[in-house]
Amino acid sequence: MLTIAICDDDRAAADTIEALLRECAAEENIEITCEAFYDGTALAEAITEQAACFDIIYLDIEMGGMNGIQTARVLRKQDLPLLLIYVSSHEEYLKELFATEPFRFLSKPIVREEFRRIFDDACRRLKSRAGYFSYTYNKALHKIPFTRIAYFESRGRRLCIHTVCADPEEQDANVFYGKMNALERRLPPPPDVAFCGSINPFSSILITSKASALPRSSWRTAQCCRSARNGARP
C-alpha cells in the first residue's frame, strides 16, 4: 500500500490531485491511502510530531504561512525515504527546489497524461529501493524507515522493532505478530543482516547493518536486558 500526502492551500486543487491519484491507482491495481493538508505547517507537524510516514508527497509551492519550499526543508531534515513532487504554476522557483531533492515538478494546470507518467515513475522508483518497513498491529498499518531500524527481536509470537536512538517506551510500541524466518525474507535484497541468532531458548535477535549507528555494547546490553526479563542467562 502506498501512503500519499497532498499539501495545497487550494482545496479544489487538492481534490483534483486526489481524484487523479485514485484513478491512476485503480488502473494499475495499486492500493493507496491519501491524506490532504491545506498548509505546510500542518503537514510538517504530522510528520515531525505525529510520526506520520508518507511514500509520496504532492506539494504546492505558494501557500500562506509556511510555503512549499520551507516545508520541504523541514521534511528533509527528518531523513525519510519519501518522494517529493512539487505541483505549481510558478516555475521561477526551480533553482530553489533542487536543494530539497524533489523527484519531479508537475505544472499547473495539471495535464492528466503528465500526471499519470509522473505517478508511474514514482511507483517504479519506490519498488526499486528500500523505503519503509510496514507492518500491521491492532488492524492498523504502521511504517518505519529502514534507515531507523537497528534490530528486530522475537518475543514468542511477537516481533519487536528496535530503532536507533529511540526511548524504551517507543521501542515497546513497535511490535507485531510474525516469525523471524518470514521477516528475513522481507528485508531488502541482498539480506541487510549483520547478525542473527538466539538470545535464549525463547527469544532470538536479527540485527541489521543499520545498527552501525548503535554501539556494539548496546547490542550486548539489549541481549542481557531481554534475557534477564525472560529469566535466562544471555
10 and 123, same domain (yes or no): yes
**CB 56 within 8 Å of CB 118:** no
| Radius of gyration of the chain measured on its C-alpha atoms | 20
Question: Locate cell 507537524: which residue?
Answer: 45
Comparing 217 with 129, which gets the higher pLDDT? Answer: 129
34 and 106, same domain (yes or no): yes
Measure the CA–CA gap between 199 and 179, rounded to whole angstroms: 15
Question: Locate cell 533542487: which residue?
Answer: 98
132 in any annotated domain: no
Confirm whether pTM is higher than 0.75: no
CATH number of the domain enclosing 218: 2.40.50
* Among 174, 84, 91, residue whose Cα is nearest residue 134: 174
Last residue in a domain, options 65, 96, 127: 127
The three three-digit cell numbers of residue 126, written as one number: 519506490
- What tens digit of pLDDT does each residue of 172-225 get? 568 888 887 788 777 765 444 444 444 444 445 565 544 444 444 444 434 433
- What tens digit of pLDDT does each residue of 30-47 get? 999 999 999 999 999 999
Domain containing residue 159: 137-229
